[in-house]
A and B are shown apart, each in its own frame.
Chain A
C-alpha cells in the first residue's frame, strides 16, 4: 500500500515473549492507528496516536503498548505475548479524525504459540 509499510509481514512467537510491530508512513499524516482483525469481531482499535508522543487507548488495549517518537513511525508492543493475541494487525493513517481518509497497511499476521 502506497505510503504505509508494516513490518514484519508474518511472525511466529512464543507465549510470554515481547513482540514489537512497526508501522512506517511516508505521507506525513498526523493520525496513526493500530487495529486487530479477528473472525467474528471485525477490526477493533487497539491504540491510536494524534501526534508525536501523543497516544491514547482504543477498545482492546489491554496487553499492548505503543510509542511514537517520530511522525513517520508508530510501534505496537505486545509486552508478554499470549495466544489470545494471535491475530492480523493493521496499521492505518489519516490526516484527520474523520474516517474518510484512512489508509491501511497490508497487515502483520502474528501467531503466538
Chain B
C-alpha cells in the first residue's frame, strides 16, 4: 500500500467552478500536510500547508485535514484558467516528504 494515494484525474472544469482535490494516506504519524502546485515543465511550488486536523484558508484556496479518516482536501473557489496545473499533496515523514501522484487540473475559459 502506498503511503499516499491521489486520484490522477485528469480533471477538467469550466472557469468559475469550485474544484475539490483529495488525497488519502495510511500513516497516522503524519502531522504536516501540504499542497504543491506544479505547472508544466516546472518544479513543484508550495501552495498551502496545514498542521494536524482542521481547515486553512488562503484567498480562493482552502485546505482541509481529517486525521480520523486520513483524508485531506484542497478546494479552489472561482477557478481560473491560471489554476490549470498539476496539484500534488504531500505529507511530512521523519526525513522526507511523501507525495501523491498528482491530479492534473484544466480550467476551461
Contacts and interface: CB of A to CB of B under 8 A. Distances in A.
Interface of A: 1, 33, 39-45, 48, 56, 58-59, 90, 92, 97-102, 104-107
Nearest to A50: B95
A88 B41 CA distance: 9
Interface of B: 4, 6, 8, 32, 34, 41-46, 49, 88, 90-92, 94-97, 99-102
Contacts of B102: 42
A98 B49 CA distance: 11
Contacts of A42: 4, 6, 88, 99-102
Contacts, number: 58
Which of A43, A58, A59, A102 counts the most chain B CB atoms within 10 A?
A43
9 contacts: A42-B6, A42-B88, A42-B99, A43-B90, A48-B95, A48-B96, A98-B32, A99-B32, A107-B42
Given A42-B99, A100-B32, A102-B97, A107 B41 contact: yes
A90 B92 CA distance: 18
Contacts of A33: 96
The 5 tightest CB contacts between A and B, nearest first, are A104-B43, A42-B101, A43-B99, A99-B97, A42-B99
B4 to A, nearest CB: 8
